[in-house]
Amino acid sequence: MILNYPEITYISKDQTVHDSKFLALIRTLAVTNKINLKNSSQKLKLENFGNSKLIVASTLSTSINAIDLSVKIPIIGLCMAYEINEESKDPELYAQLILNISRCCVIVCDCIYIENLIKNKFNFSKTILRIPYGCDQTSLSPITFREQKILRIVGIRSWTKLHSNETILDALILLKQKGVKYSAKLYGANSEVRGRLNKSIGGINQNQIRLYPPFSSDDLPKIFKSSEIYISAALSDGTSVSLLEALTAGRICIVRDFPSNHEWITHGITGFLFQDLDHLFEILIQINNMSYFQRKYISDSARKSVSDRANWDINGHKLIEVIEKLIK
């Protein structure tokens, strides 16, 4: 920490993986005041920011909503894609986002698709820093891709309507009916969700489909070592960090055919893009019929595609450079 740097205030509602990553980065060059928002109606006045010369707000909606209009401290807005893809569908939230975005001097986003929406849909003409939020490549890149007699499938996205994990379950049921041998581990479900879903899949074979609670980042290497195929059925996304993690680990990634995913997946080369349940099922059948060498080619291509672009050491330094210019 460089003590002669001004203070920076970081605002977020939750302490997500992204928040931890950005906080750790900012604390390498400045004294950082962290504000955890208590509720959606909270308002932060000038006195809440102490001697801060810069505010870093995650996200463009909730955190900037909380900053009173009387506060004129420069704001860096961290976009998490959800507010642009989903929250903006509500007319009132869209109007609030227009205001929030106009208050930022810099916006950080993680893909070209979101960058273009911020420029064109929200009329933002100031600085946009586009950096994939990256992942821990050190622990994931050494994971080997093994030859297996069955499909070993993993899902690690949250169990929300947006993430559409039930689509994965439906595809697994179709695989079972087709007689395809596989094992699937789906993570991130709380006890209520696991109880409900275990009842619905109980007649299939719980040895084939297993549901697990949320996990820590330290668990990821072990999770990926026990699988070769990663599926995300999220209906919209920015650059998903879990996708970057799976690509780094050389997993065969199957994700929704959404614009931001095209920036990382070349269909049939570095992974697969599916349009609906039937298409997802067809892709899984295709992978099942591949030779090990065909699967290994996709695994190797996936790793190469993210070796530099998903490196947080490189991408995080670009944000540091922007912050240094603002606080100097």
Answer whether 64's CB lies under 8 Å from 97's CB: no
Asked if 243 contacts 302 with a C-beta cutoff of 8 angstroms, the reply is no
- Predicted confidence (pLDDT) per residue in 14-66, tens digit: 888 899 999 999 999 888 999 999 887 899 999 999 999 999 999 999 999 99
- Region 99-113: mean pLDDT is 98
Residue 281 lies in a domain: yes
Residues 171-188 have pLDDT tens digits of 999 999 999 999 999 999
Query: Strands of 252-256's sheet, edge to edge?
Result: 209-211, 182-186, 151-155, 229-232, 252-256, 272-274
Q: Which residue has the tokens 């290994």?
A: 296
What is the domain count for the chain?
A: 2
1 lies in a domain? no
Domain around 166:
137-306
pLDDT tier for residue 2 given thresholds of 50, 70 and 90: very low
* 179: in domain: yes
For residue 295, tell me if it sits in a domain. yes
> Is there a single domain that holds both residue 121 and residue 264?
no
Closest CA to 124 of 164, 151, 84: 84
- In this prediction, residue 109 has a pLDDT band, given cuts at 50, 70 and 90, of very high
pLDDT-derived band at 242, boundaries 50, 70, 90: very high
| Beta-sheet strands, E only, within 103-211 | 106-109, 127-130, 151-155, 182-186, 209-211
Angle between helices 277-288 and 165-178 (to 10 degrees): 50
Same domain, 180 and 103: no
- Looking at the DSSP assignment, which residues form a beta bridge with residue 127? 106
Q: Please, which pLDDT band fits residue 201 given cuts at 50, 70 and 90?
A: low
